[in-house]
Amino acid sequence: MIFGVLKDIKEGENRVICTPAEVASITAAGHTVLVQKDAGKGAGFSDAAYEKAGGRIATAEEVWTTCDFVAKVKEIDPSEFGYLREDLMIYCCIHPAGHPEEVQAILDSKCIAITAEDSHRYGSPNCEAAGKQGALFGLESMLTINGGKGKFVGGFAGAPGMNVVILGGGVVGQGALSVLHALGANVTVMDINIGLMRQLGERYNQKINTMYCTRENIASVLPQTDLIINCVKWPKQRKDFLITKDMLKLMEPGSVLVDISNDDPGAIESSHETHHDDPRYVVNGVVHYCVSNIPGAVAHSTSVALGCETLPLLLNIMNNGIVEACVSDGYIRRSLTAYKGYLTHEETSGVQGRPWIRPEDILGIADRQLDPAPRATVTRSNNFITCCK
């Protein structure tokens, strides 16, 4: 198979889906790899390093038009829609439920699309990076010179440290927790999973606080909270919020809110997407940090982590084909977004009202022994396509 490593062109994105290490493994497996010129430059990987690993440097057009399978980190940009074609396979963070125009382009092209964010068996390295680096950006936002109230995370002699609330105890929240606890913050994790909160309490020797995550409980702690970090993936069909604009008035001026999830719509009413070149704004006295691409700030480390986790998935598809890969790996199957003109992603169907078909049905593997995987989101859809092929 001819595999292509694309250069990400989204604003502020410097990551690359495969480092030279992964390219070496893919070529060793007998595949040809084309790497778009400067694809890894922003993450510290030169074209010469990719060539040494067995890749061939090519233009964007060559990669798109020559390869059987292409991959990148972020969404397919509108300027790239014209490259999509029938039977081409593409792997990237499509985020299909929130991008109807991208989904339409994928369906119109009849390509085979796999959305990366649903494919990680052990949680996305991007989520870990977003949590850890997001916590550090929160501390940076707390600095007086950035509009924050100037509290130091662990405090000084005679000066208490910061009170931090983390909404959501998943991979993102746990990443933020590990950094903030290590630096001496007084951390409260709020979630709706009692078992998870118990596990976190035991892991940190009961030196963190946990609370059930409701709007009322959040409001009760906001007056004492210096930094709040949102890590909740908010269901896209919900129209309410965990934190409203009026609730921000409960916090002291100069307090900080970091919205790592940054969905639109999301759990925080006052959030809107920002970028690294202008990351902060203030609402009701609270400094907001809402960069949508936090992992892009540590592009080298995130590319290395992403590459090593993604490699087995990519090789499974290249060595065995998409059908057999979906049989042997339930996480690939659940992340199949579109197959030759048919939507195969349940959340997208539920959010956008499009009819869909289950991957196992369109691929004709429903009667086989399939590797199990949990559903990717809580969104459900019975808007099934009644026939296909």
> Is residue 95 annotated as a catalytic residue, yes or no?
yes
Residue 179, H or E segment: helix 171-182
Please classify residue 257 by burial: count the beta carbons closer than 10 Å to its beta carbon, then call 0-12 exposed, 13-18 middle and 19+ buried: buried
Q: Which of 8, 263, 288, 329 is catalytic?
A: 263
Q: Please name which of 46, 40, 97 lies closest in space to residue 71, comparing C-alpha atoms.
A: 40
- 127 token code pair: 């989520």
Strand order in the sheet with 163-167: 209-212, 186-191, 163-167, 227-230, 256-259, 286-289, 280-283
Q: Which of 8, 31, 95, 120 is catalytic?
A: 95
Q: Classify 150 as helix, strand or coil.
A: coil
> Is residue 226 annotated as a catalytic residue, yes or no?
no
User: Which own/partner pairs from 45-54 qualify as long-range (CB within 8 Å, at least 24 positions apart)?
Assistant: 45/16, 45/19, 45/20, 45/303, 49/20, 50/5, 50/20, 50/23, 52/20, 53/20, 53/21, 53/23, 53/24, 53/27, 54/23, 54/24, 54/27, 54/28
Q: Which residues are catalytic?
A: 95, 263
